[in-house]
Chain A
Amino acid sequence: MIVAEQKPLAEIMELLGDARKVLVVGCGTCVTVCFAGGEKEVGILASALRMMSKLEGHPMEVDEATVQRQCEWEYIDPLEERLGEYDVVLSLACGIGVQAMNERFPDTLTLPGLNTTFLGLPEEQGVWEERCQACGDCILGLTAGICPIARCSKQLLNGPCGGSQNGVCEVDPDIPCAWQLIWERAVKLGRVDQLLEIQPPKDWSKSRDGGPRKIVREDLRLVEAE
């Protein structure tokens, strides 16, 4: 899932500037599951904004709404009729949701209330960690199912750097060395040979730097009637 965390309140206040009427819009999917921008967090943030703006002497009117998925037109379209009454929208969705709102409702500015952080999973209650960087060319089949692009600090493809020791990364002892994990699992699975092959330079054109990536599935497109 997409994991995000809320921006500091002071930063949000600054983003909102002199807006008097604000709609806080949450999202019922990933950011609800990671406790960053669901209905509950929308309620808490809205209260905080009301209090803070009151304390600062120019009270804000803050309303709340949460949609099932802020990244799909059909879920955000019903918001349209309400938007006219607000100076700005504060989205508690990921960056995709924020942009979906801005794209769909060009007359209303939607501001981000979260920092979209990574694609990951909850390792345990309250702890999330990155697992995928959406590089566009999955190599998990070559690395014992553990991703060095997301989990190695240097994105190495041919084994650990010299800084791997006692199972942890040189950058931080709280980061397990991805290549230690890859090696141990490959040994366990009897797939060490795979790690001895030289992996050629990665095709980063599938990953980034080429403008937004796009997938077109002709088999799924709706053909417009003549």
Chain B
Amino acid sequence: MAEERANGYKSGSNLEKILRAGHFAVTAELGPPQGADPEDILRKARILKGVADAVNITDNQTAIVRMSSIASGVLAMSEGLEPVVQMTCRDRNRLAIQADLLGAYALGMRNLLCLTGDHQSFGNHPTAKNVHDLDSVQLIRMVKDMRDEGCFQCGDAIKGVVPRFFIGAAANPFGDPFEFRPYRLAKKVAAGADFIQTQLIYDIPRFREFMKRVVDMGLHEKVYILAGVGPLKSSGAARYMRDKVPGMIVRDEYVERMVAAIKGIPKEDKKARREAWRKTGIQICIEQIQEIREIEGVAGIHIMAIEWEEAVRPIVEGAGLLPRPTVE
């Protein structure tokens, strides 16, 4: 019954409309600054405008303090972007999360990505106390109950306007135990996730295997799955992600292509190397999107161009995904 409100939409967000209409969705990412200058957000928002259906605003990403996701989202909206607010369980208990969600909805946010959160030991406050009052599955259920049952986590009724979010969750096909990953996704769907954004994919065969299991379980019919991609910046960055970042798999072929990209360019010519790397990084990303698009069950793409928002337009354009559709 609740789902029949808002013209049949759960939230009425642009992202929801695009996905519901069957378009191949494009989301991007915007990282807030480690400072209080609104221009940092506005500048990135202008770069991303028109190339993505919605843009994730990270929440103290990698446990480094940044401008809040909700405040940044308000700024991004003022430039015409639709934000996906990211919310982690690391920094807030159930009271704080619900209070922030009421505020976010009141300020016009309609998409929410529910995350566990990177561990604080990675960030710039490693001696902080983490919260994890809820885990991401419980957070999804809480947001769904707020929307569909009109109640807080404790069961009390929400007074007046109920926050109606299009609920997102993350999935990492490259984490272990691999056998458990599709089931974990199923739990998130059962808890109430409407869309999924995956970890960065640099191992398409493994992603394909993951999606096969997801499709066999019928999950792709219950949730929109957006595959996570991102342009590599350099061969060093590719190696670093392959060797150092927990929960990632980067196939050697990508590292090798990034190494080959600067072949013949003298080491001193930093600018030319940078250009060559970036061109190849964007090219690989475009090819990945084309390959991933063919995989059954993939409803869209989530482009994470971290501190390189300028790369999103050529990627989306190169993948033949411009102009972005509009759904009334």
Measuring CB to CB, which residues of chain A are less than 8 angstroms from any residue of chain B?
Answer: 153-167, 170-172, 177, 179-180, 183-184, 187, 192, 195-196, 198-202, 204
Contacts and interface: CB of A to CB of B under 8 A. Distances in A.
27 contacts: A154-B117, A154-B119, A156-B116, A157-B138, A158-B137, A159-B180, A159-B184, A160-B184, A161-B136, A162-B172, A162-B175, A164-B177, A164-B246, A165-B248, A170-B118, A170-B119, A171-B119, A172-B121, A177-B176, A179-B177, A187-B179, A195-B180, A196-B186, A196-B187, A199-B137, A200-B141, A201-B134
Contacts of A199: 137-138
A54 B233 CA distance: 61
A176 B207 CA distance: 24
A179 B121 CA distance: 19
B251 to A, nearest CB: 15
A180 B73 CA distance: 36
B301 to A, nearest CB: 18
B270 to A, nearest CB: 33
Contacts of B90: 154
A183 B180 contact: yes
B138 A158 contact: yes
Most buried by A among B116, B122, B183: B116
Given A163-B246, A170-B119, A183-B179, A155 B184 contact: no
Contacts of B122: 170
B183 A162 contact: no
A224 to B, nearest CB: 41
Contacts of A195: 180, 183
- Complex A-B, nearest 7 residue pairs according to Cβ-Cβ distance, in ascending order: A162-B172, A170-B246, A158-B137, A159-B184, A163-B246, A156-B135, A161-B116
Given A155-B132, A204-B133, A180 B177 contact: yes
Q: Is the interface of A mostly helix, strand, loop or mixed?
A: loop
A201 B2 CA distance: 23
A157 B184 CA distance: 11
A165 B174 contact: yes
A163 B247 contact: yes
B132 A156 contact: yes
B153 A201 contact: yes
Nearest to B170: A162
A155 B131 CA distance: 9
Contacts of B180: 159-160, 179, 183, 195
Contacts of B141: 198, 200
A164 B94 contact: no
Given A156-B132, A163-B175, A195-B183, 19 more contacts: A157-B138, A158-B184, A159-B180, A159-B184, A162-B116, A163-B246, A165-B247, A165-B248, A170-B118, A170-B122, A179-B180, A180-B176, A180-B177, A183-B179, A198-B141, A198-B190, A200-B138, A201-B133, A202-B133
Contact of B183 (A153, A172, A196): A196
Contacts of B171: 162
Interface string B69-101: 000000000000000000001100010000000
B144 to A, nearest CB: 11
A170 B183 contact: no
A155 B116 CA distance: 10
B130 interface: yes
Contact of B130 (A154, A157, A160): A154
A31 to B, nearest CB: 26
Most buried by B among A155, A165, A183, A202: A165
A135 to B, nearest CB: 12
A170 B120 CA distance: 11
Given A154-B132, A179-B180, A163 B119 contact: yes
B199 interface: yes
B128 to A, nearest CB: 13
Contacts of B153: 201
A170 B187 contact: no
Contacts of B116: 154, 156, 161-162
A145 to B, nearest CB: 17
Interface in B164-211: 170-172, 174-177, 179-180, 183-184, 186-187, 190-191, 199
Nearest to A148: B135
Contacts of B132: 154-156
A195 B191 CA distance: 14
B138 A160 contact: no
A200 B153 CA distance: 10
B121 A160 contact: no
Interface in B308-325: none
A160 B137 contact: no
A152 to B, nearest CB: 9
Contacts of B170: 162
B304 to A, nearest CB: 13
Contacts of A192: 183
